[in-house]
């Protein structure tokens, strides 16, 4: 979907505060530079699961070597990592050995808090996988973690910012998932702007959001259709665009199946106002609720930006989000 609408996005990103980065074509290194090793999916990785009682195969991390030449790639390499439970993020506890077993891999040895990765000639990545026993996760409120760091890189250079890996594991809350969004959108400063689905209609597409668990009662909202990031997309009349540094985080009350608040994930507490002055608030005239039987969310909220609209809200959003599938 995102590839089909790329042409519509050109020209709108900079004016609305969304930055993009296009990588220039670069020549091959040949035998220049150093072979780089790194945690390919780090430095953090958050895993969320619906409650389960079976055994799941979980990839904790993938470690990679980016060789500086074809010749260097053909050389075997041994890298040693170390576990460090003291650096597991706050709020998480070290995953106990009783909850998992290692997926056997003769090229990976785990013992005494060390992980030895043996790259054969031509191999460029290794994945550490475990069999996670859901039946042993008896207290669903407990969140688990693992932390790894490069202990011995041999002669290889470790990529800056990718020398460590923090993995966290939590049970998803009830609202986590992928939702199809329909509704209305209006911007006081730009009356010609309209709901994102107007711009997606020529492609027979409808906006989808991922609600991603960040706590037992909160989900952040990820745009899965247009930008593939934390934005609220809309249609300008000539193309698709979105607000920079603005994306809602919802707080739910499971007992009443209501949304109790919304704030901007880019903002700073207590008002969650971003650097460009954007904040979020629920519209009290909306239903702002969740129907567990249909898995439908109704949400009506504002985007407030006093630098553009000094009094009252700038943007009014009234949507219904229909659950379509579990988030992978």
Weakest mean pLDDT among 23-37, 207-221, 270-284:
23-37
3-state secondary structure of 255: coil
Tell how far CA 188 is from the center of its chain: 31
Instruction: Supply the pLDDT for residue 139.
Output: 84
Domains and CATH numbers, the chain: 36-171 (2.60.40.2030), 174-325 (2.40.128)
Mean pLDDT of 32-44: 87
Give residue-wise pLDDT tens across range 242-265: 999 999 999 999 999 999 999 999
Count of H-run helices and E-run strands, the chain: 3, 24
Q: What percent of the chain has pLDDT over 90?
A: 81
Instruction: Supply the pLDDT for residue 1.
Output: 53
Residue 85 to residue 145: CA distance in whole angstroms: 8
**1: number of Cβ within 10 Å:** 14
Cα three-residue angle 247-286-301, rounded to 5 degrees: 20
Residue 323 to residue 176: CA distance in whole angstroms: 9
Instruction: Supply the pLDDT for residue 5.
Output: 52
* 3-class secondary structure per residue, 96-111: CHHHEEECCCCCEEEE
- Report which of 286, 280, 290 is spatially closest to residue 314, judged by C-alpha positions: 280
Instruction: Supply the pLDDT for residue 215.
Output: 82
3-state secondary structure of 77: strand
3-state secondary structure of 60: strand
Cis peptide before 196 (omega within 30 of 0): no
3-state secondary structure of 299: strand
Asked if residue 246 lies in contact with residue 301, where contact means CB atoms within 8 angstroms, the answer is no
> In the predicted model, is pLDDT for residue 169 greater than 80?
yes
- Is the full-model pTM beyond 0.75? no
> Assign residue 97 a region: left if phi > 0, alpha if psi is -120 to 50, beta otherwise?
alpha
Give me the sheet containing 194-195, strands edge to edge: 194-195, 233-235, 240-242
What secondary structure does DSSP assign to 96-163, as a single string?
PGGGEEEPP-TTEEEETTEEEEEEPTT--EEEEEEEEEGGG---TT--EEEEEEEEE-TTPEEPTT-S
Instruction: Supply the pLDDT for residue 282.
Output: 98
Q: Between β-strands 177-187 and 218-223, what pairing exists: parallel, antiparallel or unpaired?
A: unpaired
What is the DSSP secondary structure assignment for residue 13, as one 8-state letter?
Answer: T
Mean pLDDT of 184-205: 98
Helix (H) or strand (E) holding 304: strand 296-304
Token duo for residue 21: 């980065």
- Residue tagged 């609600």 (tokens): 211
Instruction: Supply the pLDDT for residue 2.
Output: 52
3-state secondary structure of 308: coil
Give residue-wise pLDDT tens across range 92-130: 999 999 999 999 999 999 999 999 999 999 999 999 999
**255: number of Cβ within 10 Å:** 6
Residue 134 to residue 186: CA distance in whole angstroms: 45
């Amino acid at each position: 979907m995102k590839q089909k609408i790329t042409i519509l996005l050109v020209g709108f990103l900079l004016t609305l505060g969304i930055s993009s980065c296009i990588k220039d074509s670069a020549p091959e290194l040949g035998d220049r530079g150093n072979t780089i090793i790194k945690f390919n999916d780090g430095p953090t990785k958050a895993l969320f699961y619906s409650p389960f009682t079976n055994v799941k195969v979980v990839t904790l991390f993938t470690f990679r070597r980016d060789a500086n030449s074809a010749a260097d790639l053909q050389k075997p390499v041994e890298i040693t990592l170390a576990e460090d439970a003291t650096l597991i993020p706050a709020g998480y506890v070290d995953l106990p050995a009783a909850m998992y077993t290692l997926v056997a891999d003769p090229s990976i040895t785990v013992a005494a808090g060390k992980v030895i990765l043996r790259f054969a000639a031509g191999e460029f990545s290794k994945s550490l996988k475990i069999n996670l026993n859901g039946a042993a996760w008896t207290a669903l409120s407990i969140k688990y973690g693992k932390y790894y760091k490069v202990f011995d890189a041999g002669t290889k250079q470790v990529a800056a910012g990718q020398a460590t890996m923090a993995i966290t594991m939590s049970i998803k809350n009830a609202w986590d998932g992928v939702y199809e969004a329909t509704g209305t959108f209006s911007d006081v400063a730009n009356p010609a702007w309209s709901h994102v689905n107007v711009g997606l209609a020529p492609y027979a597409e409808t906006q989808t959001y991922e609600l991603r668990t960040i706590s037992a009662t909160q989900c952040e909202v990820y745009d899965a259709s247009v930008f593939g990031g934390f934005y609220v997309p809309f249609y300008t009349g000539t193309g698709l665009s979105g607000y920079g540094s603005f994306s809602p985080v919802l707080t739910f009350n499971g007992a009443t199946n209501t949304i109790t608040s919304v704030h901007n994930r880019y903002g700073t507490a207590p008002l969650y106002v971003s650097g460009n002055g954007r904040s979020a608030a629920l519209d009290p005239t909306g239903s702002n609720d969740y129907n567990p039987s249909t898995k439908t969310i109704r949400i009506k909220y504002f985007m407030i930006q006093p630098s553009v609209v000094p009094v009252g809200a700038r943007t009014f959003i009234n949507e219904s989000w229909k659950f379509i599938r579990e988030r992978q």
